[in-house]
Amino acid sequence: MSQSVRITVDGVEVQVEPGATVLTAATTAGIAVPTLCHEARVDPMGSCRMCLVEIEGQRRLQPSCAFPASDGMVVHTDSGRVRRHRRVLLSMYLADHELDEDGLPKERGTGNRLRQHVLEHGTGPTLPPIAADRSYREDDNPYVHFDPEACILCNLCVRYCDEVEAVSAITLANRGSHTTIATADQRSLLDTSCELCGGCIAVCPTGAMTERPALGLDWRREEKIRTTCNFCGVGCQLDLHVADDRIVRITSPEPGRTVNDGNLCVKGRFAYEFVHHDDRLTTPLIRGGDGELRPASWPEALAAAAAGLLGVKERHGADALGFVSSSRCTGEENYLVQKLARAAFGTNNCHQCAAT
């Protein structure tokens, strides 16, 4: 095994694996370096220039997200030179960003990280606005909304679509100040290879990519509740965003923390309307002697189901019963179904729909 690399970040000595970046070393040391275009699931690009740090022996500031750590390196993430760079850089971003009445980047989506950096690090000289014509593009897809006025061209959405989803549905179009996020031939996402997973929304640092069903909602009023997606048996973790007792959007926990590594499919992220649908059953129903369904409590419904199954067993034997579990259940739940079949009812007639 190759030896670890020793690097000093703001006076803190840390050890990282060979090939690790300066940003990884800073994170290991518990030091926060501001970023915009960085995302752990995609290759570093170093385009936003927000994470530049001062490295002794280097004439210029270097992007910590892409610069490899070397043994004995000494890094300063909060020197006067670095702070001055951040303020000027943020002034440049403000000149090319739609601002609110306070002169700050507008809040969009689930938060604008550029706005937070301005509040934390301040800005330099006020620069005249850049006259960049990024016209809105009509897109009739029901889930993903793109606002070019909020885009900082960090390319994260494009890189995620290419490197993580391997779909490459979106790309950069035009040149210079007219550069924007687009699709081939300006087609709707519905006419591209897009899977509508919403990953571009999840990685966008400014809210330029936003959930269309949640447009105009104040994300700061939302309460997050962790749960497990029930659309298949993978067990992806979800964060339900609830406001006024209604689910208004769904996100995924941070990458590296759960089985789905921060990723979701179109069903996991957007198919939550059924929760509040008027036709949804919210209580068990039992069919009475008159053939009509009536509401029942869960204990009553479970007792009725057990009695019905036992009745079949008594009349026709255990092998007259069959149990089929669902691929929408977790592995643990499917295990319990087969145990119920074998141990409680004495039959090996159990199957799982994903096996066909």
Is the model's pLDDT at 50 over the cut of 70?
yes
Is the model's pLDDT at 347 over the cut of 90?
yes
Residues 259 and 174 in one domain: yes
Residues 224 and 343 in one domain: no
**Mean of the pLDDT values across residues 116-126?**
94
At 236, give phi and psi (nearest 5°): -60, 140
Residues 221 and 152 in one domain: yes
pLDDT category, 356, cuts 50, 70, 90? Answer: low
Residues 261 and 153 in one domain: yes
Q: Identify whether 309 is part of a domain.
A: no
The residue from 89, 121, 153 where one domain ends is 121
- The pLDDT of residue 1 is 45
CB 66 within 8 A of CB 21: yes
Is the model's pLDDT at 185 over the cut of 90?
no
Enter the tokens of residue 158: 């494009």
CATH code, 41: 3.10.20.740
Q: Identify whether 280 is part of a domain.
A: no
Residues 154 and 247 in one domain: yes
Q: Comparing 283 with 178, which gets the higher pLDDT? A: 283
Q: Identify whether 179 is part of a domain.
A: yes
Q: Identify whether 162 is part of a domain.
A: yes
52: CB partners within 8 A, 6+ apart: 61, 62, 63, 64, 82, 85, 86
CB 266 within 8 A of CB 143: yes
Is the model's pLDDT at 137 over the cut of 80?
no
Each residue's pLDDT tens digit, 271-305: 999 999 999 998 999 998 888 999 999 999 999 99
CATH code, 162: 3.30.70.20
- The pLDDT of residue 170 is 95
DSSP H or E stretch at residue 211: strand 209-211
Q: Across all residues in the chain, what is the average pLDDT?
A: 92
Q: How many CB atoms lie within 10 A of CB 129?
A: 12
Q: Identify whether 128 is part of a domain.
A: no
CA-closest candidate to residue 242, choices 271, 261, 272, 222: 222
Residues 79 and 184 in one domain: no
The residue from 273, 294, 327 where one domain ends is 273
Q: Identify whether 130 is part of a domain.
A: no
Q: Alpha carbon of 200 to those of 171, 206, 335: distances in Å? A: 12, 11, 36
Residues 269 and 323 in one domain: no
- The pLDDT of residue 224 is 94
Residues 264 and 154 in one domain: yes
Residues 154 and 195 in one domain: yes
Structural domain containing residue 267: 144-273
Enter the tokens of residue 157: 């959405």
Residues 15 and 93 in one domain: yes
Is the model's pLDDT at 2 over the cut of 70?
no
Residues 193 and 245 in one domain: yes
Q: Identify whether 161 is part of a domain.
A: yes
Q: How many domains does the chain have?
A: 3
Residues 256 and 148 in one domain: yes
What Rg do the C-alpha atoms of the chain give, in angstroms?
Answer: 27
Q: Identify whether 291 is part of a domain.
A: no
5: CB partners within 8 A, 6+ apart: 15, 16, 17, 18, 20, 25, 69, 70, 71, 73
Strands 350-352 and 323-325, by their bridges, are: parallel
CA-closest candidate to residue 149, choices 161, 174, 131, 126: 131
**Three-state SS string across 154-208, please?**
CCHHHHHHHHCCCCCCCEEECCHHHCEEECHHHCCHHHCCCCCCCHHHHHCCCCC
Crossing angle between the packed helical segments 80-95 and 113-121, to the nearest 10 degrees: 130
> Any idea which of 1-10, 52-61, 194-203, 273-282 has the lowest mean pLDDT?
1-10
CA-closest candidate to residue 147, choices 159, 134, 160, 163: 134
pLDDT category, 270, cuts 50, 70, 90? Answer: very high
pLDDT category, 230, cuts 50, 70, 90? Answer: confident
- The pLDDT of residue 182 is 92
